[in-house]
């Protein structure tokens, strides 16, 4: 008896682990986040600068990409990009963890509001749906991140927003950590590619 393509496909879908992998692959391919096909690596492929962790980091945030489900109000921000190495090669399964203030500049220090992590897909893609963080005393507008490739060192850093009056007054600000922001209707789109060792 010959084995047809249909048999092979049916067998593939009958295997739960493979079905999971296919679903994950399709999920990544159909992601609503309009990430460019290729990362925006500079000629020198410099590693993304680190920045301070600050006092509001909490370990064990949940695995999720939509951080808006428990919020009301705020300007919606879809944020994402790639994680790549110094040769601009995408890194699979890198952890990208985000924590940020809400629209009033408040962190949730007891729960996990506006905290979450995810892993990059085969293209090194990451993305979150969140809101524009509010300001708090002494800081310009920013979002905190930890990025780690499997078995690698943790990059702790922050991303900043262009055009903020407070950028130049914040000693932690550096132009290398600026998001590329695009306004689409009522929401903002923020892009950044992390380059890690
Ligand atoms: Fe902060």
Same domain, 133 and 167: yes
Burial of 28 (0-12, 13-18, 19+ CB in 10 A): middle
- Shared domain for 13 and 97, answered yes or no, is no
Provide the token pair at 159: 């991303």
Please check whether residues 57 and 136 belong to one and the same domain. Answer: yes
Per-residue pLDDT of the chain (197 residues; tens, 9 = 90+): 333 334 433 443 344 444 444 444 434 433 567 767 677 676 667 899 999 999 999 999 999 999 998 888 899 999 999 999 999 999 999 999 999 999 999 999 999 999 999 999 999 999 999 999 999 999 999 999 999 999 999 999 999 999 999 999 999 999 999 999 999 888 999 999 999 99
**Contact yes or no for 128/80 (Cβ under 8 A):** yes
Burial class (CB in 10 A: 0-12, 13-18, 19+), 76: middle
Residues 22 and 95 grouped into a single domain? no
The answer to whether 48 and 196 have CB atoms below 8 angstroms apart is yes
Assess whether 76 and 16 both reside in one domain.
Answer: no
Same domain, 17 and 90: no
pLDDT of res. 42: 62
User: What is the tally of structural domains in the chain?
Assistant: 2
Ligand 1 centroid – CA 55 distance (Å): 8
Domain co-membership, 18 together with 49: no
51 vs 54: CA distance, rounded Å: 9
DSSP assignment, residue 90?
B
Cα 92 from Cα 94, distance rounded (Å): 6
Domain CATH code at residue 180: 2.60.130.10
What's the CA-to-centroid distance between 122 and ligand 1, angstroms?
30
User: Are both 1 and 60 inside the same structural domain?
Assistant: no
Measured in Å, residue 161 CA sits from the centre of ligand 1 at 13
Residue 133 vs residues 28, 58, 61, 75, 102: alpha-carbon distances, Å: 26, 17, 18, 9, 5
For residue 138, the number of C-alpha atoms closer than 13 Å in the C-beta half-sphere is 2
Is 12 in the same domain as 55? no
Distance from the CA of 143 to the center of ligand 1, in angstroms? 7
With vertex at residue 26, the alpha carbon angle to CA 22 and CA 29, rounded to the nearest 5 degrees, is: 140
Domain assignment of residue 13, given as a range: 1-30
């Amino acid at each position: 008896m010959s084995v047809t393509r249909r048999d092979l496909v049916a067998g593939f879908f009958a295997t739960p682990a493979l079905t999971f992998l296919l679903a994950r692959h399709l999920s990544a391919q159909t992601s609503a986040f309009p990430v460019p096909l290729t990362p925006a690596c500079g000629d020198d492929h410099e590693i993304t600068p680190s920045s301070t962790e600050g006092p509001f980091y909490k370990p064990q945030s949940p695995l999720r990409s939509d951080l808006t489900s428990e919020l009301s109000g705020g300007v919606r921000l879809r944020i994402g990009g790639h994680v790549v190495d110094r040769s601009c090669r995408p890194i699979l399964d890198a952890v990208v963890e985000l924590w940020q203030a809400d629209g009033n500049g408040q962190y949730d220090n007891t729960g996990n509001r506006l905290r979450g992590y995810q892993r990059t897909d085969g293209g090194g893609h990451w993305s979150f749906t969140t809101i524009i963080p509010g300001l708090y005393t002494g800081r310009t507008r920013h979002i905190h991140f930890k990025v780690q490739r499997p078995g690698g060192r943790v990059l702790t850093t922050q991303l900043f927003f262009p055009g903020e009056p407070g950028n130049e007054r914040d000693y932690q600000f550096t132009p290398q950590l600026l998001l590329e922001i695009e306004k689409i209707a009522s929401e903002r789109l923020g892009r950044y590619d992390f380059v890690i060792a």
